[in-house]
């Protein structure tokens, strides 16, 4: 019985993971931007997103996902302005927020974070407030 319970729990855990939405970032700026991704296990990666329509996406998986955008590759410098999108998938809900650290690298330029399902609030000002939406939503952050 224990084996069956474990197997069923594993299947449900896998199913909930595969149903989560995606995180997409589109760069409409005239210059490349740098994306630094950190996940709950503290793994991180950095890449550039090409100017004038470059795009990145991945599935939102679990809690503690951070997508940090900068205009230079020195993300960890205290002098680098950062736009940070936080996203966590928990119990059928994605919680998300948009914040800045050390200034806003897109100050004076448009920023929009939106989900594609009814009830997903769009964020156009990085104020750090947390929003919630179904984990079936795909989210898109557009800069410039």
Domains along the sequence of the chain with CATH:
2-143 (2.60.110.10)
Report percent pLDDT > 90 for the chain. 81
125: its two tokens: 């000002």
Indicate if the alpha-carbon torsion angle 48, 53, 57, 63 is positive or negative: positive
pLDDT score for 20 = 77
Spatial contact of 33 and 27, defined as CB atoms under 8 Å apart: yes
Q: Residue 24's beta-bridge partner residues?
A: 57, 140
44: its two tokens: 């991180």
Residue 11 has pLDDT above 70, yes or no: no
Residue 85 DSSP symbol:
E
60: its two tokens: 């939102």
The answer, as to whether pTM is greater than 0.85, is: no
């Amino acid at each position: 019985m224990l084996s069956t319970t474990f197997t069923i729990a594993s299947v449900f855990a896998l199913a909930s993971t595969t149903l989560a939405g995606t995180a997409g970032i589109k760069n409409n700026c005239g210059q490349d931007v740098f994306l630094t991704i950190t996940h709950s296990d503290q793994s991180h990666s950095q890449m550039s997103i090409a100017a004038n329509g470059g795009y990145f996406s991945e599935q939102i998986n679990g809690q503690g996902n951070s997508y940090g955008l900068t205009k230079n590759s020195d993300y960890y410098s205290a002098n680098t302005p950062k736009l940070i999108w936080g996203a966590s998938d928990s119990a059928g809900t994605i919680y998300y927020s948009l914040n800045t650290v050390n200034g806003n690298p897109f100050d004076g330029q448009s920023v929009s974070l939106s989900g594609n399902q009814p009830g997903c609030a769009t964020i156009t000002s990085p104020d750090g407030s947390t929003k919630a939406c179904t984990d079936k939503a795909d989210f898109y952050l557009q800069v410039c």
